């Protein structure tokens, strides 16, 4: 089942998340495009990336243009780095209910094991996928942590 911004809004209301879904006039497929669309720094854009650890989906949430280090995920799950794969678009839709580029950090069709880079928590306010290619959700990173029950860790190498 494909989910969208209205589904995310309903989830946020049900979970008492004080955030706002911003419907934009342009699509935001990249961190840079999203930052420009809401006039903010790329570090305040949160991206939700689905990885497959063998057959198990794992959601990694990081800031801006940071690159998720697969070795960190591999070490956490006790597997080799080659067993950590980026989920393909069909898999992302199947597992989360959202399309690539629109995926929020929570409210997926199935509960996901979630890893949150500690740098996300450094901002008072962030923007994340809003359920559609032209939507972002503005919220507190503390709400992402609370609702996703994420494990906070260093996911990127700086």
Query: How many CB atoms are located within 10 Å of the residue 138 CB?
Result: 17
Predicted confidence at residue 101, as pLDDT, reads 87
Say whether 50 sits in a helix, a strand or coil: strand
Cα-to-chain-centroid distance, residue 114: 9
Residue 54, classified by CB atoms within 10 Å of its CB into exposed (0-12), middle (13-18) or buried (19+), is exposed
For the cut 70, the answer to whether the pLDDT of residue 71 exceeds it is: yes
pTM score, whole prediction: 0.94
Residue-range domains of the chain with CATH: 5-153 (3.90.960.10)
Given a cut of 90, whether residue 115 has pLDDT beyond it is: yes
Token duo for residue 72: 């960190």
The 10s digit of each residue's pLDDT in 44-69 is 999 999 999 999 999 999 998 889 99
């Amino acid at each position: 089942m494909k989910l969208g911004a209205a589904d995310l809004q309903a989830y946020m209301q049900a979970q008492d998340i004080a955030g706002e879904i911003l419907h934009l006039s342009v699509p935001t497929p990249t961190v840079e495009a999203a930052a420009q669309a809401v006039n903010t720094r790329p570090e305040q854009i949160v991206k939700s990336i689905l990885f497959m650890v063998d057959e198990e989906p794992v959601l990694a949430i990081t800031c801006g243009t940071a690159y998720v280090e697969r070795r960190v995920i591999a070490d956490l799950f006790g597997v080799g780095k080659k067993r950590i794969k980026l989920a393909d678009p069909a898999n992302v839709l199947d597992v989360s209910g959202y399309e690539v580029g629109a995926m929020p950090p929570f409210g997926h069709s199935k509960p996901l094991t979630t890893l949150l880079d500690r740098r996300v928590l450094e901002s008072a306010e962030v923007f994340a996928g809003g359920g559609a290619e032209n939507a972002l959700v503005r919220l507190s990173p503390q709400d992402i942590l609370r609702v996703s029950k994420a494990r906070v860790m260093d996911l990127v190498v700086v």
